[in-house]
Chains A and B, each alone.
Chain A
């Protein structure tokens, strides 16, 4: 019966894992910035990190080819349903948008000239118009001239090139043989598959035309990063799996152990994801990634079960025997993650919840179900026996090294403190996944397209949408001044296109009545080759504008005119909006009523620092709880201290080595150190804390050594990653595990229960 159960268990568990994986496929996984923003965030954080990153995507494209090639590529791109509009250099807005802007020219756009309706101005403007009519472009202006004796339309065109799209009165910077394009997308910047599809369409079109294209944009950064992480993870995972497989196969000579070891982790991870999704409504991709690493300690449970198993001992018997030690180790680790799950940062809370759930499931699975699937054969103890015998034979060496292990962390930490090296790294730039080449390309395309800077913006706040619009209008007036004085390259503000209603009304009130305008125009037209009734359309426009009143921000026709600009949104504590700044940005401060210059990089770094601080505080509380658990579990402070010694030394040495080698600690190092603590406690509990059988120490040594070698292989492989986050975690855990193992074996059977 038992044999039959054993045979059926493995396929049954694999089937369950597959079912669980299918269930996880339906869990909503988020990839936005919500991971990094605190729940109780302010309006600024909410707006800048959530709404701005979820805004519609944009593709900045340079086509290295002639105009015909660029035309074909633009057409192919424009046909894609996710592309709302492809803007080519020098290309005009469509007629509908231009008609709307012209119809509402006295309320929309920049302020009216002081002398907008004076006879002198009209005379000069009509002369300019006549010149334009005589040019080759004349036919395009033919119907506008009779509506515009004040030159308002001309002004809008000159200010923004072609009706509100170009900045700085000039075209996009053009290089011979190269055409710039801007594709507006109706998918969010966080829609990675959507961006992959756009990139495919663009590259296919470029291939067909036979030209090279370069592409950048926020969504493409995310796409490249995700592809880089995926390909690197695939390679590293393959290497680590092969490494661990070799180690385990050498130890057990039973391929089944590879599957057995994956079961508690697999069930734990699936359970953790489902529980997190149930509590939070969705799971963040980063939480899953970290959760998977954090539950690495669960891999040790099956190794211990298999290693400590005596010949002819039933799987359940060994599980029952080891469970008190396993549960103590798990409870210590759990303490940290349960506390972390209470964080105000959703990301931290999710990591805590996911990992805590996963560990509970993994330890319970190892106790009650895994014994069914344990391999028949126990651990080959020969290497352990040999090494352990060697160590036992040299108590002097062990004693000497033991003092070194007390001295080393103290000396290391002291040296690190006085080294002058930074302890913490909160610079958001160190978290970015983009390569230097990508960043350079993005900067170049942004400059050529006159796109706004991504690290600075003016944040506008107000109690209502109207108040935000008024504050933004005032801020824009001041920014305009900065642009004129050369301290700012430009800015993108919605109020430059749609001023607040009160400003629009004030403009309409400034327009003289029709009778007065007619008198003035009759004076102006003396001596000019324009017939007296030529400007009847102008009078019609004035009457229509006064009748219509201010233009609302919600009019759909404004969409094309304001594509690049954000509109006010309601946030947690009022309404907010942003003015984006175009480099060069020479202004250091900008603090007027309701408007503040925000350095996004500093702000994000501040949030990262808050993240790290809160994470550190919670983990310290978790460590204290873990320590109390160990004291209770070991029935005494002295025994508890003995268990705590290994992780404390491991963390101290790891931190000292990292800081001394010029690697300041980030939030990710902290998480890796939690795993180091779990590993340290596990080694200590199973090696020094658990002795049994005739050859005391041999099983413990073999088991812990096997756990260490497998962990070290995985994290040493991770440390070779070019992605800073993975490299940091890999290096920290590999180093910490190595120190934990060395300290554990050097302390030997000191304090072991007899």
Chain B
């Protein structure tokens, strides 16, 4: 039923989820630059960071260049974080719903792996190939308790923006530049 709804929604806009998946998989460059703005409800000013992300052999790598250098290496659900003084920390991305949603999304848009997205979210695609929007609403469980929606804006196989709205009022917006 859901698949049908998604297909209907996508068909109406002339740009389907399958086409989007194919476009994401067909991307030639796997490395992107990004800037991130995080608005936390109890802070009066947003927090900014920037860096590079890439997907390589099933591993998602995120190199933060500012405000402080740090790296994230995501293998499956395992996240390995290395901070500026090379201290390594390992954790399961499932520990934090916001991180989990972000990891799944990044794997999909950088690696073209849409299956987890379809499992975890209700997907609503609108627009056309040159300017599409994908609204992802968590279906159930902890993800739904924490996340309101993850919205992607893009053109063809390139995602331009990721916006994460959390139920506690926090917002994260990631602007992506494709190299």
Contact A134-B38, Cβ < 8 Å, known A71-B78, A529-B44: yes
Complex interface bits, B99-127 against A, C-beta within 8 A gives 1, otherwise 0: 10000000000000000000000000000
Indicate whether A531 reaches chain B with its CB closer than 8 angstroms.
Answer: yes
C-alpha spacing A161/B81, complex, angstroms? 13
List B residues 67-118 near A (Cβ within 8 Å): 67-68, 70, 72, 75-76, 78, 80-81, 83, 87-91, 95-96, 98-99
Indicate whether A20 reaches chain B with its CB closer than 8 angstroms.
Answer: no
Indicate whether A90 reaches chain B with its CB closer than 8 angstroms.
Answer: yes
B-side contacts of A174, CB under 8 Å: 88
Contacting chain A: which of B6-14, B16-24, B45-53, B151-159? B45-53
Write 17 A-B pairs (CB below 8 A) sorted by A numbering: A67-B75, A67-B80, A71-B76, A90-B88, A92-B90, A95-B95, A131-B67, A135-B68, A135-B70, A138-B38, A140-B95, A142-B170, A162-B89, A171-B88, A531-B42, A531-B43, A531-B44
Check A138 against B47 for contact (C-beta < 8 Å).
yes
List A residues 190-224 near B (Cβ within 8 Å): none
Contact A142-B40, Cβ < 8 Å, known A134-B48, A171-B88: yes
Check B72 against A91 for contact (C-beta < 8 Å).
no
Indicate whether B62 reaches chain A with its CB closer than 8 angstroms.
Answer: yes
C-alpha spacing A183/B138, complex, angstroms? 36
Closest 8 CB pairs of A and B: A529-B45, A534-B42, A134-B47, A90-B90, A90-B88, A139-B98, A529-B44, A91-B90
| B102 smallest CB distance to A (angstroms) | 8
* Identity of the chain B residue whose Cβ is nearest the Cβ of A172 in the assembled complex: B88
Known: A92-B90, A171-B88. 11 other contacts (CB 8 A): A130-B47, A131-B68, A134-B47, A134-B67, A137-B89, A139-B99, A140-B99, A145-B42, A170-B87, A529-B44, A530-B43
C-alpha spacing A736/B62, complex, angstroms? 75
Indicate whether B64 reaches chain A with its CB closer than 8 angstroms.
Answer: yes
* Identity of the chain B residue whose Cβ is nearest the Cβ of A162 in the assembled complex: B89
Indicate whether A634 reaches chain B with its CB closer than 8 angstroms.
Answer: no
B-side contacts of A162, CB under 8 Å: 89
B-side contacts of A443, CB under 8 Å: none
B-side contacts of A533, CB under 8 Å: 42
Check A135 against B95 for contact (C-beta < 8 Å).
no
Check B43 against A529 for contact (C-beta < 8 Å).
yes
A-side contacts of B170, CB under 8 Å: 142
Check B43 against A534 for contact (C-beta < 8 Å).
yes
Contact A136-B90, Cβ < 8 Å, known A67-B75, A530-B43: no
Check A92 against B88 for contact (C-beta < 8 Å).
no
Indicate whether A133 reaches chain B with its CB closer than 8 angstroms.
Answer: yes
* Identity of the chain A residue whose Cβ is nearest the Cβ of B49 in the assembled complex: A134
* Identity of the chain B residue whose Cβ is nearest the Cβ of A158 in the assembled complex: B87
B-side contacts of A161, CB under 8 Å: 87
Which of A89, A131, A145 contacts B88 (CB under 8 A)? A89
Check A90 against B40 for contact (C-beta < 8 Å).
no
| B84 smallest CB distance to A (angstroms) | 9
Indicate whether A78 reaches chain B with its CB closer than 8 angstroms.
Answer: no
Indicate whether A155 reaches chain B with its CB closer than 8 angstroms.
Answer: no
B-side contacts of A285, CB under 8 Å: none
Check B62 against A91 for contact (C-beta < 8 Å).
no
Contact A530-B44, Cβ < 8 Å, known A95-B95, A135-B70, A136-B72: yes
Check B80 against A90 for contact (C-beta < 8 Å).
yes
B-side contacts of A531, CB under 8 Å: 42-44
Check A133 against B87 for contact (C-beta < 8 Å).
no
Indicate whether A146 reaches chain B with its CB closer than 8 angstroms.
Answer: yes
Indicate whether A88 reaches chain B with its CB closer than 8 angstroms.
Answer: yes
Check A136 against B64 for contact (C-beta < 8 Å).
yes
Check A135 against B43 for contact (C-beta < 8 Å).
no
A-side contacts of B83, CB under 8 Å: 135, 137
C-alpha spacing A140/B89, complex, angstroms? 12
Indicate whether A695 reaches chain B with its CB closer than 8 angstroms.
Answer: no
C-alpha spacing A47/B76, complex, angstroms? 45
| A515 smallest CB distance to B (angstroms) | 21
B-side contacts of A136, CB under 8 Å: 49, 62, 64, 70, 72, 81
Contact A88-B90, Cβ < 8 Å, known A134-B38, A140-B95: yes
List A residues 62-117 near B (Cβ within 8 Å): 67-68, 71, 88-92, 95
List A residues 505-558 near B (Cβ within 8 Å): 529-531, 533-534
List A residues 468-484 near B (Cβ within 8 Å): none
* Identity of the chain B residue whose Cβ is nearest the Cβ of A137 in the assembled complex: B81
C-alpha spacing A436/B88, complex, angstroms? 33
C-alpha spacing A88/B88, complex, angstroms? 11
Which of B45, B47, B72, B89 contacts A90 (CB under 8 A)? B89
B-side contacts of A142, CB under 8 Å: 40, 98, 170
C-alpha spacing A91/B96, complex, angstroms? 15
Complex interface bits, A480-497 against B, C-beta within 8 A gives 1, otherwise 0: 000000000000000000
C-alpha spacing A314/B23, complex, angstroms? 103
| B140 smallest CB distance to A (angstroms) | 20
Check B47 against A92 for contact (C-beta < 8 Å).
no
List A residues 326-361 near B (Cβ within 8 Å): none
* Identity of the chain B residue whose Cβ is nearest the Cβ of A145 in the assembled complex: B42
A-side contacts of B87, CB under 8 Å: 161, 170-171
C-alpha spacing A382/B70, complex, angstroms? 91
C-alpha spacing A174/B88, complex, angstroms? 10
C-alpha spacing A174/B87, complex, angstroms? 11
Which of B45, B70, B91 contacts A91 (CB under 8 A)? B91
C-alpha spacing A174/B67, complex, angstroms? 27
A-side contacts of B88, CB under 8 Å: 89-90, 171, 174
* Identity of the chain A residue whose Cβ is nearest the Cβ of B47 in the assembled complex: A134
B-side contacts of A139, CB under 8 Å: 96, 98-99
Which of B49, B70, B80, B89 counts the most chain A CB atoms within 10 A? B89
Complex interface bits, A150-172 against B, C-beta within 8 A gives 1, otherwise 0: 00000000000110000000110
Which of B40, B80, B99 counts the most chain A CB atoms within 10 A? B40
* Identity of the chain A residue whose Cβ is nearest the Cβ of B43 in the assembled complex: A529
* Identity of the chain B residue whose Cβ is nearest the Cβ of A174 in the assembled complex: B88
B-side contacts of A131, CB under 8 Å: 67-68
C-alpha spacing A131/B72, complex, angstroms? 17
| A559 smallest CB distance to B (angstroms) | 20
| B55 smallest CB distance to A (angstroms) | 16
Check B96 against A140 for contact (C-beta < 8 Å).
yes
C-alpha spacing A137/B48, complex, angstroms? 13
| A141 smallest CB distance to B (angstroms) | 10
A-side contacts of B98, CB under 8 Å: 139, 142
* Identity of the chain B residue whose Cβ is nearest the Cβ of A92 in the assembled complex: B91
C-alpha spacing A131/B96, complex, angstroms? 19
C-alpha spacing A95/B78, complex, angstroms? 16
B-side contacts of A92, CB under 8 Å: 89-91
Which of A89, A92, A136, A146 counts the most chain B CB atoms within 10 A? A136
C-alpha spacing A90/B170, complex, angstroms? 29
Which of A91, A135, A140, A170 contacts B49 (CB under 8 A)? A135
C-alpha spacing A139/B62, complex, angstroms? 15
* Identity of the chain A residue whose Cβ is nearest the Cβ of B38 in the assembled complex: A138
A-side contacts of B47, CB under 8 Å: 130, 133-134, 138
C-alpha spacing A162/B95, complex, angstroms? 15
C-alpha spacing A135/B66, complex, angstroms? 9
List A residues 231-250 near B (Cβ within 8 Å): none
C-alpha spacing A241/B49, complex, angstroms? 78
B-side contacts of A529, CB under 8 Å: 43-45
C-alpha spacing A170/B89, complex, angstroms? 11
A-side contacts of B62, CB under 8 Å: 136
C-alpha spacing A162/B91, complex, angstroms? 11
C-alpha spacing A131/B84, complex, angstroms? 13
| A125 smallest CB distance to B (angstroms) | 16
| B112 smallest CB distance to A (angstroms) | 21
C-alpha spacing A95/B92, complex, angstroms? 11
* Identity of the chain B residue whose Cβ is nearest the Cβ of A179 in the assembled complex: B90
C-alpha spacing A142/B40, complex, angstroms? 8
| A716 smallest CB distance to B (angstroms) | 57
C-alpha spacing A209/B132, complex, angstroms? 43
Contact A133-B72, Cβ < 8 Å, known A90-B80, A140-B96: no
B-side contacts of A135, CB under 8 Å: 49, 64, 67-68, 70, 83
